[in-house]
Amino acid sequence: MIKLSPIIAHRGSSGTAPENTLAAFRAAAAAGATWVEFDATLTSDARPVVFHDDELDRTTDGQGLLAETTFEVLTHLDAGSWFGAAFAGEMVPTLEEVLETLGTLGLAFNMEIKPDRGREVETAEIALATVADNWHGSLPTPLISSFSRICVGVAKDLAPTLPRSFLFDRRPDDWAALGRTLELFGFGANQAHLDAAQVAEMKAAGYRVSAYTVNAPERASLLFSWGVDSIFTDYPALMLKHFPPT
Ligand code: G3P
Ligand code: MG
225 by Cβ neighbours in 10 Å (0-12 / 13-18 / 19+) ranks as: exposed
**Residue range 52-77: average pLDDT?**
98
Q: Is the pLDDT of residue 136 over 90?
A: no
Specify if 119 maps to a domain.
yes
Specify if 2 maps to a domain.
no
Q: What is the residue range of 205's domain?
A: 7-242
| Adjacent-strand bridge partners of 164 | 144
Whether residue 167 has its Cβ less than 6 Å from ligand 1? yes
Beta pairing, strands 164-168 & 143-146: parallel
Q: Is the pLDDT of residue 138 over 90?
A: no
Specify if 105 maps to a domain.
yes
Specify if 143 maps to a domain.
yes
Total count of domains within the chain: 1
Cα(112) to centroid(ligand 2), Å: 6
197 by Cβ neighbours in 10 Å (0-12 / 13-18 / 19+) ranks as: exposed
Specify if 206 maps to a domain.
yes
CATH value at residue 189: 3.20.20.190
Question: Residue type at 164?
Answer: R
Q: Is the pLDDT of residue 2 over 90?
A: no
Specify if 215 maps to a domain.
yes
CA angle 180, 186, 192 (to 5 degrees): 120
Q: Ligand 1, closest atom to CA 110?
A: 1
Ligand closest to 145 (CA) is 1
The chain-wide mean pLDDT, for the chain, equals 97
Residue nearest to atom 10 of ligand 1 (CA): 52
Ligand closest to 188 (CA) is 1
Specify if 87 maps to a domain.
yes
Question: Residue type at 110?
Answer: N
Q: What is the per-residue pLDDT for 97?
A: 98
Q: Ligand 1, closest atom to CA 10?
A: 4
Residue nearest to atom 7 of ligand 1 (CA): 52
Specify if 1 maps to a domain.
no
Q: Is the pLDDT of residue 1 over 80?
A: no
Based on the residue annotation, tell me whether 10 is a catalytic residue of this protein.
yes
Task: State the pTM of this model.
Answer: 0.98
State the number of CA atoms in the 13 A half-sphere of 61 facing the CB: 15
Whether residue 125 has its Cβ less than 6 Å from ligand 1? no
